[in-house]
Amino acid sequence: MIGVYDSGFGGLTVLRHLVGALPGRDFLYLGDNGRAPYGGRDAHTLLDFAEQCVEHLFEAGCGLVVVACHTVSCVALRHLQRRYGYPGSGRRVLGVTIPAAEAAVALTRGRIGVLATERTVRSRTFVAELAKLGHHDTVQRAAPLLAPLVEEAWEATELARGACARYLRDLEGASVIILGCTHYPLLREALEAGTGAALLDPGPAVAERLRAWLSRHPDFDAPGEGRLQLHCTGDLAHFTASAARFYGGPLPAPRHVVEAGSTLARLVLDGTPEGQVVRG
Protein backbone atom coordinates (compact mmCIF):
# COMPACT_ATOMS: atom_id res chain seq x y z
CA MET A 1 0.00 0.00 0.00
CA ILE A 2 1.32 3.44 -0.98
CA GLY A 3 0.80 6.29 1.46
CA VAL A 4 0.08 9.76 0.10
CA TYR A 5 0.30 12.68 2.51
CA ASP A 6 -0.87 16.24 2.15
CA SER A 7 -1.82 19.12 4.40
CA GLY A 8 -5.43 18.66 3.36
CA PHE A 9 -7.44 18.44 0.14
CA GLY A 10 -4.80 19.59 -2.30
CA GLY A 11 -2.90 16.31 -2.49
CA LEU A 12 -6.00 14.77 -4.03
CA THR A 13 -5.05 16.62 -7.24
CA VAL A 14 -1.82 14.60 -7.16
CA LEU A 15 -3.47 11.36 -6.04
CA ARG A 16 -5.69 11.29 -9.13
CA HIS A 17 -2.59 11.11 -11.32
CA LEU A 18 -0.96 8.45 -9.10
CA VAL A 19 -4.06 6.25 -9.23
CA GLY A 20 -4.32 6.81 -12.99
CA ALA A 21 -0.70 5.77 -13.55
CA LEU A 22 -0.81 2.81 -11.12
CA PRO A 23 -4.34 1.43 -11.30
CA GLY A 24 -3.59 -1.92 -9.64
CA ARG A 25 -1.98 -0.44 -6.52
CA ASP A 26 -3.54 0.16 -3.13
CA PHE A 27 -3.37 3.74 -1.82
CA LEU A 28 -3.93 5.29 1.60
CA TYR A 29 -4.34 9.07 1.50
CA LEU A 30 -3.91 11.18 4.62
CA GLY A 31 -5.10 14.79 4.59
CA ASP A 32 -4.11 16.75 7.69
CA ASN A 33 -7.09 19.07 7.16
CA GLY A 34 -7.46 19.82 10.86
CA ARG A 35 -4.12 21.67 10.83
CA ALA A 36 -4.22 23.07 7.28
CA PRO A 37 -3.24 25.38 5.75
CA TYR A 38 0.43 24.59 6.17
CA GLY A 39 1.69 27.26 3.80
CA GLY A 40 2.16 30.04 6.34
CA ARG A 41 3.55 27.87 9.15
CA ASP A 42 7.13 27.85 10.38
CA ALA A 43 9.52 25.12 9.33
CA HIS A 44 9.84 23.40 12.70
CA THR A 45 6.10 23.05 13.20
CA LEU A 46 5.92 21.54 9.72
CA LEU A 47 8.60 19.00 10.62
CA ASP A 48 6.57 17.93 13.65
CA PHE A 49 3.34 17.64 11.68
CA ALA A 50 5.10 15.79 8.88
CA GLU A 51 6.67 13.27 11.28
CA GLN A 52 3.31 12.51 12.86
CA CYS A 53 1.57 12.08 9.51
CA VAL A 54 4.29 9.99 7.88
CA GLU A 55 4.45 7.75 10.97
CA HIS A 56 0.67 7.33 10.79
CA LEU A 57 0.95 6.07 7.22
CA PHE A 58 3.84 3.71 7.99
CA GLU A 59 1.99 2.33 11.02
CA ALA A 60 -1.07 1.76 8.84
CA GLY A 61 1.06 -0.55 6.67
CA CYS A 62 2.49 1.64 3.92
CA GLY A 63 6.03 0.78 2.83
CA LEU A 64 6.33 3.91 0.75
CA VAL A 65 5.01 7.41 1.42
CA VAL A 66 4.67 10.08 -1.24
CA VAL A 67 4.68 13.58 0.23
CA ALA A 68 2.25 15.23 -2.19
CA CYS A 69 2.31 18.58 -0.39
CA HIS A 70 4.78 21.01 -1.95
CA THR A 71 5.25 22.89 1.29
CA VAL A 72 6.28 19.74 3.19
CA SER A 73 8.31 18.43 0.26
CA CYS A 74 10.23 21.72 0.04
CA VAL A 75 10.91 22.03 3.75
CA ALA A 76 10.95 18.58 5.30
CA LEU A 77 11.56 15.90 2.69
CA ARG A 78 15.24 15.45 3.43
CA HIS A 79 14.52 15.23 7.15
CA LEU A 80 11.80 12.62 6.57
CA GLN A 81 14.05 10.60 4.27
CA ARG A 82 16.86 10.53 6.85
CA ARG A 83 14.55 9.75 9.73
CA TYR A 84 12.45 7.03 8.10
CA GLY A 85 13.76 6.08 4.67
CA TYR A 86 17.38 5.24 5.44
CA PRO A 87 18.91 2.15 3.76
CA GLY A 88 17.82 -1.02 5.52
CA SER A 89 14.67 0.55 7.01
CA GLY A 90 12.44 -1.07 4.39
CA ARG A 91 10.67 2.29 4.10
CA ARG A 92 10.93 5.14 1.68
CA VAL A 93 9.66 8.71 1.49
CA LEU A 94 9.40 10.43 -1.91
CA GLY A 95 8.51 14.05 -2.70
CA VAL A 96 7.20 16.23 -5.49
CA THR A 97 9.82 18.97 -5.87
CA ILE A 98 12.41 17.21 -8.03
CA PRO A 99 9.88 15.72 -10.50
CA ALA A 100 8.35 19.20 -10.83
CA ALA A 101 11.74 20.85 -11.39
CA GLU A 102 12.77 18.23 -13.96
CA ALA A 103 9.49 18.59 -15.84
CA ALA A 104 9.90 22.37 -15.95
CA VAL A 105 13.46 22.19 -17.25
CA ALA A 106 12.34 19.74 -19.93
CA LEU A 107 9.85 22.35 -21.14
CA THR A 108 12.01 25.47 -21.32
CA ARG A 109 15.43 27.03 -21.32
CA GLY A 110 13.80 30.35 -20.56
CA ARG A 111 12.70 31.81 -17.26
CA ILE A 112 10.81 29.52 -14.90
CA GLY A 113 8.24 30.95 -12.52
CA VAL A 114 7.24 29.26 -9.27
CA LEU A 115 3.83 30.05 -7.81
CA ALA A 116 3.56 28.54 -4.34
CA THR A 117 2.87 29.03 -0.66
CA GLU A 118 4.79 31.46 1.50
CA ARG A 119 6.81 28.70 3.18
CA THR A 120 7.66 26.99 -0.13
CA VAL A 121 8.93 30.25 -1.60
CA ARG A 122 10.92 31.13 1.51
CA SER A 123 12.56 27.69 1.54
CA ARG A 124 14.04 28.44 -1.92
CA THR A 125 14.07 24.67 -2.51
CA PHE A 126 12.65 25.04 -6.03
CA VAL A 127 15.36 27.59 -6.86
CA ALA A 128 18.02 25.20 -5.51
CA GLU A 129 16.68 22.13 -7.30
CA LEU A 130 16.37 24.00 -10.61
CA ALA A 131 19.95 25.27 -10.17
CA LYS A 132 21.16 21.68 -9.65
CA LEU A 133 19.66 20.96 -13.07
CA GLY A 134 21.66 23.83 -14.56
CA HIS A 135 18.77 26.29 -14.59
CA HIS A 136 19.52 29.65 -13.02
CA ASP A 137 16.72 31.91 -14.22
CA THR A 138 13.92 31.35 -11.71
CA VAL A 139 11.42 33.79 -10.24
CA GLN A 140 9.11 32.96 -7.37
CA ARG A 141 5.88 34.41 -6.04
CA ALA A 142 4.08 33.42 -2.87
CA ALA A 143 0.31 33.39 -3.40
CA PRO A 144 -1.25 32.96 0.04
CA LEU A 145 -4.76 33.94 -1.11
CA LEU A 146 -5.10 31.25 -3.75
CA ALA A 147 -5.44 28.07 -1.67
CA PRO A 148 -8.22 29.59 0.50
CA LEU A 149 -10.08 30.69 -2.67
CA VAL A 150 -10.00 27.11 -3.93
CA GLU A 151 -11.08 25.76 -0.52
CA GLU A 152 -14.06 28.09 -0.80
CA ALA A 153 -14.85 26.67 -4.30
CA TRP A 154 -14.41 30.17 -5.77
CA GLU A 155 -11.95 29.16 -8.48
CA ALA A 156 -14.31 30.25 -11.30
CA THR A 157 -15.05 33.70 -9.86
CA GLU A 158 -13.93 37.20 -10.77
CA LEU A 159 -12.24 37.30 -7.37
CA ALA A 160 -10.05 34.30 -8.27
CA ARG A 161 -9.18 35.74 -11.69
CA GLY A 162 -8.25 39.05 -10.09
CA ALA A 163 -6.04 37.45 -7.45
CA CYS A 164 -4.34 35.23 -10.04
CA ALA A 165 -3.67 38.18 -12.35
CA ARG A 166 -2.20 40.17 -9.47
CA TYR A 167 0.20 37.40 -8.44
CA LEU A 168 1.15 36.54 -12.02
CA ARG A 169 2.26 40.12 -12.63
CA ASP A 170 5.29 39.33 -10.45
CA LEU A 171 6.19 36.32 -12.62
CA GLU A 172 6.35 38.31 -15.85
CA GLY A 173 8.88 37.00 -18.32
CA ALA A 174 8.47 33.39 -17.24
CA SER A 175 7.83 30.99 -20.11
CA VAL A 176 6.81 28.15 -17.77
CA ILE A 177 5.14 28.54 -14.39
CA ILE A 178 5.28 25.65 -11.95
CA LEU A 179 2.01 25.27 -10.04
CA GLY A 180 3.93 24.73 -6.83
CA CYS A 181 0.95 24.17 -4.56
CA THR A 182 -1.43 21.25 -4.81
CA HIS A 183 -4.51 23.50 -4.91
CA TYR A 184 -3.47 25.43 -8.01
CA PRO A 185 -4.39 22.90 -10.74
CA LEU A 186 -8.01 23.79 -9.91
CA LEU A 187 -7.22 27.41 -10.78
CA ARG A 188 -5.91 26.62 -14.25
CA GLU A 189 -8.57 28.63 -16.09
CA ALA A 190 -8.24 31.65 -13.81
CA LEU A 191 -4.45 31.52 -14.13
CA GLU A 192 -4.52 31.08 -17.90
CA ALA A 193 -6.59 34.25 -18.15
CA GLY A 194 -3.71 36.13 -16.52
CA THR A 195 -0.63 34.83 -18.33
CA GLY A 196 0.67 33.59 -21.65
CA ALA A 197 3.16 31.28 -19.91
CA ALA A 198 2.69 27.52 -19.95
CA LEU A 199 1.31 26.29 -16.63
CA LEU A 200 2.95 23.14 -15.31
CA ASP A 201 0.90 20.88 -13.05
CA PRO A 202 3.57 18.61 -11.53
CA GLY A 203 1.03 15.82 -10.85
CA PRO A 204 1.58 13.82 -14.08
CA ALA A 205 5.40 14.04 -13.72
CA VAL A 206 5.18 12.87 -10.09
CA ALA A 207 3.03 9.92 -11.15
CA GLU A 208 5.38 8.96 -13.96
CA ARG A 209 8.40 9.16 -11.65
CA LEU A 210 6.63 7.01 -9.07
CA ARG A 211 5.75 4.40 -11.69
CA ALA A 212 9.37 4.24 -12.86
CA TRP A 213 10.67 4.19 -9.26
CA LEU A 214 8.43 1.26 -8.34
CA SER A 215 9.59 -0.74 -11.31
CA ARG A 216 13.18 -0.23 -10.09
CA HIS A 217 12.27 -0.88 -6.42
CA PRO A 218 9.62 -3.61 -6.43
CA ASP A 219 10.26 -4.44 -2.75
CA PHE A 220 8.59 -1.27 -1.46
CA ASP A 221 5.10 -2.02 -2.72
CA ALA A 222 3.37 -5.04 -4.19
CA PRO A 223 0.62 -4.81 -6.82
CA GLY A 224 -2.65 -4.79 -4.86
CA GLU A 225 -6.35 -4.70 -5.64
CA GLY A 226 -6.67 -1.07 -6.69
CA ARG A 227 -8.10 -0.11 -3.28
CA LEU A 228 -8.24 3.51 -2.15
CA GLN A 229 -8.64 4.54 1.49
CA LEU A 230 -8.86 8.06 2.84
CA HIS A 231 -7.91 9.30 6.28
CA CYS A 232 -8.25 12.89 7.47
CA THR A 233 -7.85 15.02 10.54
CA GLY A 234 -10.28 17.88 11.12
CA ASP A 235 -13.93 18.00 10.18
CA LEU A 236 -15.06 14.74 8.61
CA ALA A 237 -18.26 16.14 7.10
CA HIS A 238 -16.33 18.97 5.43
CA PHE A 239 -13.80 16.52 4.02
CA THR A 240 -16.58 14.28 2.68
CA ALA A 241 -18.33 17.24 1.05
CA SER A 242 -15.28 18.73 -0.70
CA ALA A 243 -12.81 15.93 -1.46
CA ALA A 244 -14.35 14.76 -4.75
CA ARG A 245 -14.01 18.27 -6.24
CA PHE A 246 -10.23 18.11 -5.73
CA TYR A 247 -9.93 14.49 -6.86
CA GLY A 248 -12.11 15.03 -9.90
CA GLY A 249 -14.26 11.95 -9.29
CA PRO A 250 -16.07 9.92 -6.66
CA LEU A 251 -14.20 8.81 -3.55
CA PRO A 252 -14.81 6.29 -0.76
CA ALA A 253 -15.95 7.52 2.67
CA PRO A 254 -13.03 8.88 4.71
CA ARG A 255 -11.96 7.71 8.15
CA HIS A 256 -11.37 10.32 10.80
CA VAL A 257 -7.97 10.47 12.52
CA VAL A 258 -8.16 12.18 15.88
CA GLU A 259 -5.34 14.55 16.73
CA ALA A 260 -4.76 13.09 20.15
CA GLY A 261 -1.42 13.19 21.86
CA SER A 262 0.07 16.01 19.79
CA THR A 263 2.93 17.54 21.69
CA LEU A 264 4.62 20.88 21.32
CA ALA A 265 7.94 20.82 19.53
CA ARG A 266 10.83 20.04 21.85
CA LEU A 267 13.58 21.50 19.73
CA VAL A 268 13.24 25.12 18.65
CA LEU A 269 16.04 26.74 16.71
CA ASP A 270 16.60 30.47 16.39
CA GLY A 271 16.04 32.27 13.12
CA THR A 272 14.28 31.26 9.93
CA PRO A 273 15.93 28.31 8.23
CA GLU A 274 16.24 28.31 4.45
CA GLY A 275 15.86 25.28 2.19
CA GLN A 276 15.64 21.77 3.58
CA VAL A 277 15.63 21.47 7.34
CA VAL A 278 17.06 18.38 9.03
CA ARG A 279 17.11 17.91 12.75
CA GLY A 280 18.35 15.12 14.91
Contact residues toward ligand DGL (CB under 6 A) are 6-8, 10, 36-39, 69-71, 117, 120, 147, 181-183
Nearer to ligand DGL, 52 or 120 (CB): 120
* Residue 126 per-residue DSSP state: H
- Residue of 53, 62, 69, 74 marked catalytic: 69
Nearer to ligand DGL, 71 or 81 (CB): 71
To ligand DGL, the closest distance from the beta carbon of 6 in angstroms equals: 5
Order across the sheet with 198-200: list the strands.
Answer: 138-142, 111-116, 174-180, 198-200
Q: H helices of 137-176, where?
A: 146-151, 158-168
Nearer to ligand DGL, 63 or 233 (CB): 233
Nearer to ligand DGL, 39 or 63 (CB): 39
- Residue of 62, 74, 181, 232 marked catalytic: 181
To ligand DGL, the closest distance from the beta carbon of 272 in angstroms equals: 17
Our CA angle for 41, 198, 190, nearest 5°, is: 65
Determine contact, residues 43/211, Cβ cutoff 8 Å. Answer: no
To ligand DGL, the closest distance from the beta carbon of 53 in angstroms equals: 12
Bridge partner residues of 178 (DSSP):
114, 200
Q: What distance in Å separates the CA atoms of residue 83 and residue 175, rounded to the nearest whole number? A: 37
Query: Is 69 annotated as catalytic?
Result: yes
To ligand DGL, the closest distance from the beta carbon of 221 in angstroms equals: 23
Label the pairing between strands 198-200 and 174-180: parallel
Catalytic residues: 69, 181
